[in-house]
């Protein structure tokens, strides 16, 4: 019998991290139970990029083939101003590397379909108390008001930026969350905006605020508003759509920004949140470990959230299999191999805020210069080579579980 057989793990969260972790642990003989506070599965979601690091992990977990590539190969990317004037621009799809443009729900659906049928999922369930000793973890669970306590060999918090597991075991959110001073509102468009072909990418930049339309090959674009604020808490008062409108000021919105704001104003299905990172000295405590945004949220500005979630889950199963008799030791080795890469992703998330939301007119002008340069024969080839061989680009595509930093 495998030393991993019949070990029980509670995975809290049914997102990308939770699903991938359950698959990873089930593949090495564990018996994962997934607790999800929502009453059912989520659907849809805004755009994400899946880079080489995430694709490699998804292949080993058995569902990379089921994640579509919605990237546009022949569309145009341009920058507009409020008056509707256009000029060549750089989009997220112009980043070097082996990335795919997908919706978050694409990755979740592929992982859910790959989840073995014997993995138990408990909806409308959340942990309310977690206590552990050297041999196991006792978790009190609230399932629609029914309270039970169960024992597990391991608890994995995969429940997002404001993780309940992290709060119960590691302390208040304020101790671990770092605000970058920006807000985002994101949603997939039900239909293309008037005058914008569905395969075109568009961005509008003003100091401290930006609007993006990210194109897909087979569906309307995804819309993103991003803006800087000195009062994050104040952004959560009143209607989010009103807050976004206020951030873009009282000036006339124009032929593109205006309809985009109208779309946001007329839907209840969108993400509105502050841009934050999870920064922790350790991602595990005894037999409790955090994965994904619960542990290391790199922020949307890094572009590596989904890829990091998959890579972390994949590596966790590898390390638990490598250290079957010593769970804390396995978690220590897992973090030692993973943290250097996640530190780099987080640094990219901090510097990447200027890619998404230029801070001043100089940064906006520099983007225009680069956009024109990449279209010139010799200069463009040189710029593309430098970007493709940058440390950031290499890190995005590095297969973490097979990297040279592997820890025994």
Give SS3 for 98.
coil
The residue with greater pLDDT, 74 or 295, is 295
Mean pLDDT confidence for 186-202: 89
φ/ψ bin of 43: left (φ > 0), alpha (ψ from -120 to 50), beta (otherwise):
beta
Overall pTM surpassing 0.85 (yes/no): yes
Mean pLDDT confidence for 196-203: 90
Give SS3 for 101.
strand
Q: 172-197 burial string, b = 16+ CB within 10 Å, else e? A: eeeebbeebebbbbbbbbeebbeebe
pLDDT tens column, 236-255: 999 999 999 999 999 999 99
CA-to-CA distance for 316 and 46, rounded, in angstroms?
27
Kindly report the number of other CB atoms within 10 A of residue 41's CB atom.
13
CA-to-CA distance for 390 and 344, rounded, in angstroms?
13
Comparing C-alpha atoms, which of 93, 260, 98, 274 is closest to residue 188? Answer: 260
Query: In this structure, are residues 297 and 305 in contact, taking their beta carbons and an 8 Å threshold?
Result: yes
Residue 43: is its pLDDT beyond 80?
no
* Close Cβ partners of 94 (under 8 Å, ≥ 6 residues apart): 77, 374
Q: 264-301 burial string, b = 16+ CB within 10 Å, else e? A: beeeeebebbbbbbbebeebbbbbbbbbbbbbbbbbbb
Give SS3 for 44.
coil
Query: DSSP E strands: which ranges in 59-99?
Result: 77-80, 86-88
Mean pLDDT confidence for 94-104: 77
Phi, psi of 173 (to 5 degrees): -55, -40
pLDDT tens column, 385-395: 444 446 667 78
CA-to-CA distance for 189 and 196, rounded, in angstroms?
12
**pLDDT at res. 370:** 65
Please state which of the ranges 81-90, 231-240, 316-325 shows the lowest mean pLDDT.
Answer: 81-90
**pLDDT at res. 228:** 97
């Amino acid at each position: 019998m495998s030393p991993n057989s019949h070990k029980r793990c509670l995975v809290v969260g049914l997102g990308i991290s939770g699903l991938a972790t359950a698959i990873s642990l089930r593949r090495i003989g564990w018996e994962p139970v997934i607790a999800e506070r929502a009453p059912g599965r989520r659907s849809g979601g805004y755009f994400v990029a899946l880079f080489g690091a995430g694709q490699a992990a998804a292949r080993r977990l058995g569902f990379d083939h089921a994640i579509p590539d919605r990237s546009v190969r022949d569309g145009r990317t341009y920058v507009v101003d409020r008056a509707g004037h256009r000029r060549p621009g750089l989009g997220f799809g112009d980043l070097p590397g082996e990335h795919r443009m997908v919706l978050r729900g694409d990755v979740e659906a592929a992982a859910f379909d790959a989840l073995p049928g014997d993995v138990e999922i408990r909806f409308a369930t959340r942990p309310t108390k977690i206590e552990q000793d050297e041999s196991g973890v006792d978790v009190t669970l609230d399932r629609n008001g029914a309270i039970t306590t169960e024992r597990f060999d391991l608890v994995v918090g995969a429940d997002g930026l404001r993780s309940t597991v992290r709060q119960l075991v590691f302390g208040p959110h304020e101790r671990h969350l770092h605000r970058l001073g920006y807000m985002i509102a994101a949603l997939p468009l039900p239909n293309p905006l008037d005058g914008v072909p569905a395969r075109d990418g568009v961005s509008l930049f003003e100091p401290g605020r930006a609007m993006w339309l990210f194109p897909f090959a087979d569906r309307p674009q995804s819309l993103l508003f991003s803006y800087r604020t000195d009062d994050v808490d104040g952004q959560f008062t009143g209607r989010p759509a009103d807050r976004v409108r206020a951030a873009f000021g009282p000036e006339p919105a124009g032929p593109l920004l205006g309809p985009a704001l109208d779309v946001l104003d007329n839907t209840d299905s969108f993400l509105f949140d502050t841009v934050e990172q999870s920064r922790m000295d350790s991602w595990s405590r005894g037999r409790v470990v955090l994965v994904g945004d619960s542990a290391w949220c790199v922020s949307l500005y890094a572009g590596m959230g989904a890829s990091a979630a998959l890579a972390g889950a994949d590596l966790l199963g590898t390390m638990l299999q490598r250290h079957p008799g010593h769970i804390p030791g396995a978690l220590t080795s897992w973090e030692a191999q993973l943290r250097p890469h996640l530190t780099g992703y987080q640094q990219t998330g901090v510097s990447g805020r200027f890619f998404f939301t230029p801070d001043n007119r100089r940064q906006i002008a520099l983007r225009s210069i680069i956009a024109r340069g990449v279209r010139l024969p010799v200069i463009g080839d040189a710029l593309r080579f430098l970007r493709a061989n940058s440390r950031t680009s290499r890190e995005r595509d590095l297969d973490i579980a097979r990297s040279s930093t592997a820890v025994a």
